[in-house]
C-alpha cells in the first residue's frame, strides 16, 4: 500500500505587497517541497486584518498572492491552494484553542511585544491572539512540517505547545508540527539597515525589494544597498550588509555561501551587487509576467481557490468536529 505523504501547511498574509524576504524565506522553498509532501498553501487573509486594511486593496493583494504562488511554480493541481476566510473552521478552531491558551504565553511572543511598544494601549486584540489562529491553521490539517522564515519560529513553537496541551488534556488529537527553516534565505535583511529584517512595513522603500518591483527598481535598490568599508567579500557577522547580499545570492542560486565567497576572490562589492541584482531580476521577472497574466484571468483564479476551499474545508471540518466532541460540545 502507498504510504501516506507527510503534510505541509504554510501561508502568507496579504497585509502589504510581498517582499523578496517572503519569497526566499517561504514561497521558493514550498516549490521544492511540493513533490514530496501533501501541501496546503493558504493566503491568510484573516491574519492580515489584525491591522487596518483598505478593503479593495485587501482583495487585490489576496488574489495577487495566490497568483504569486502559482507563478512561482506551485502547481494548483498537485497542491491545495485556498483563501483562509473561505474555510470557516479556521475561525472556529481558533476560538476553541484560544480557550486553551494562556495570556502569559501569548504575551511572551516577541512580535507582539515589538508591536505593543509601537501601538501602546490601542494595540488590536487580534494582534495578541493571532498566533492562536496560526496554530489553528496548522493543526486543522495535522501538518507535519511548516516551511517558514526564522521570524515565525517562535509562533511555531507556540503551535507545538498548544497541540501538546490539547492532546494531553483531551486525548491525542493533533500532529505536533515541526518548522522547516531554510539554510540561507531564512532571514533576509533590510538593504539599508542590515540589522533589521526586510519587511514591507519599513518606511524606507530602498530597504526592501518587492516581488513585483520592476527590474530597474530592483537594480537601483541593490546598487544602493549598505555595505561597509572593508572592501572584501566575506561571509561574516562583522559585514552584515555583504552577508545579506551573499545570502540572497546563495538562496536564489542554491549554492552554499562559502562557494560564493570563493568565487569573489580578488573582486569587490560592485561585482557582487551586479550579480545579486542580475540574479534577483532573472528569478523574479518571469514570475512577474505570469502574475500579470493570472491577475487578468480571475475566472481561472476563482476556479483554483474554490476547488482548494472545498478540499481544505473537508479536511478541516473533520478535525474541528473531533475537537468539538472532545471538548464536550453537542454534535448537531
Which positions lie near ligand TYM, rule CB under 6 A? 9-13, 21-22, 24-26, 44, 47, 134, 137-138, 146, 148-149, 151-152, 155, 185-188, 197-198
Known binder of ligand: residue 94?
no
Report, in Å, the least distance between residue 82 CB and ligand TYM.
12
Spot the catalytic one: 115, 153, 253, 307: 115
Q: Which of 180, 202, 178, 194 is nearest to 248 (CA)?
A: 194
Q: Which of 89, 93, 91, 71 is nearest to 81 (CA)?
A: 71
Known binder of ligand: residue 221?
no
Q: Which of 233, 207, 239 is nearest to 221 (CA)?
A: 207
Known binder of ligand: residue 98?
no
Which is nearer to ligand TYM, 65 or 261 (by Cβ)?
65
Which is nearer to ligand TYM, 109 or 277 (by Cβ)?
109
CB within 8 Å of 126: residues ≥ 6 apart: 49, 50
Spot the catalytic one: 197, 221, 243, 273: 197
Cα 46 to chain centroid distance, Å, stands at: 14
Report, in Å, the least distance between residue 27 CB and ligand TYM.
8
Known binder of ligand: residue 85?
no
Report DSSP letters for 121-164, one per residue: GG--HHHHHHHHHHHHHHHHTT-SEEE--GGGHHHHHHHHHHHH
Burial class (CB in 10 A: 0-12, 13-18, 19+), 189: buried
Q: How far apart are CA 67 and CA 319, in angstroms?
A: 28
113 is catalytic: no
28 is catalytic: no
Which is nearer to ligand TYM, 178 or 285 (by Cβ)?
178
Which is nearer to ligand TYM, 211 or 231 (by Cβ)?
211
115 is catalytic: yes
Output the CA angle 310-7-127, nearest 5 degrees.
75
- State the catalytic residues: 115, 197, 200
Known binding residues for ATP are: 13-15, 21-22, 149-151, 188, 197-201
Known binding residues are: 13-15, 21-22, 137, 149-151, 188, 197-201
Known binding residues for L-tryptophan are: 137
Amino acid at each position: 500500500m502507498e504510504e501516506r505523504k507527510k503534510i505541509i501547511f504554510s501561508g502568507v498574509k496579504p497585509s502589504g505587497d510581498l517582499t523578496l524576504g517572503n519569497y526566499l524565506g517561504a514561497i521558493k522553498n514550498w516549490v521544492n517541497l511540493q513533490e514530496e509532501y501533501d501541501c496546503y498553501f493558504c493566503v491568510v487573509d484573516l491574519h492580515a486584518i489584525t491591522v487596518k486594511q483598505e478593503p479593495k486593496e485587501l482583495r487585490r493583494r489576496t488574489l495577487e498572492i495566490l497568483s504569486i504562488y502559482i507563478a512561482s511554480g506551485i502547481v494548483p493541481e498537485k497542491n491545495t491552494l485556498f483563501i483562509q476566510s473561505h474555510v470557516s473552521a479556521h475561525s472556529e478552531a481558533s476560538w476553541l484553542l484560544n480557550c486553551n491558551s494562556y495570556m502569559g504565553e501569548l504575551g511572551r511572543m516577541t512580535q507582539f511585544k515589538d508591536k505593543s511598544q509601537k501601538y501602546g494601549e490601542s494595540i488590536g486584540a487580534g494582534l495578541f491572539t493571532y498566533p492562536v489562529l496560526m496554530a489553528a491553521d496548522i493543526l486543522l490539517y495535522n501538518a507535519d512540517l511548516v516551511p517558514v522564515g526564522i521570524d515565525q519560529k517562535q509562533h511555531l513553537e507556540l503551535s507545538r505547545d498548544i497541540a501538546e496541551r490539547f492532546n494531553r488534556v483531551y486525548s491525542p488529537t493533533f500532529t505536533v508540527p515541526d518548522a522547516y527553516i531554510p539554510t540561507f534565505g531564512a532571514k533576509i535583511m533590510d538593504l539599508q539597515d542590515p540589522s533589521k529584517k526586510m519587511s514591507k512595513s519599513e518606511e524606507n522603500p530602498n530597504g526592501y525589494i518587492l516581488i513585483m518591483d520592476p527590474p530597474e527598481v530592483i537594480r537601483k535598490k541593490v546598487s544602493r544597498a549598505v555595505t561597509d568599508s572593508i572592501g572584501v567579500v566575506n561571509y561574516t557577522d562583522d559585514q552584515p550588509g555583504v552577508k545579506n547580499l551573499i545570502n540572497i545570492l546563495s538562496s536564489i542560486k542554491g549554492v552554499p555561501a562559502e562557494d560564493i565567497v570563493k568565487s569573489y576572490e580578488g573582486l569587490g562589492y560592485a561585482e557582487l551587487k551586479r550579480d545579486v541584482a542580475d540574479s534577483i531580476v532573472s528569478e523574479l521577472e518571469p514570475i512577474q509576467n505570469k502574475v500579470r497574466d493570472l491577475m487578468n484571468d480571475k475566472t481561472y483564479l476563482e476556479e483554483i481557490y474554490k476547488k482548494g476551499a472545498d478540499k481544505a474545508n473537508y479536511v478541516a471540518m473533520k478535525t474541528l468536529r473531533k475537537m468539538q466532541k472532545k471538548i464536550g460540545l453537542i454534535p448537531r
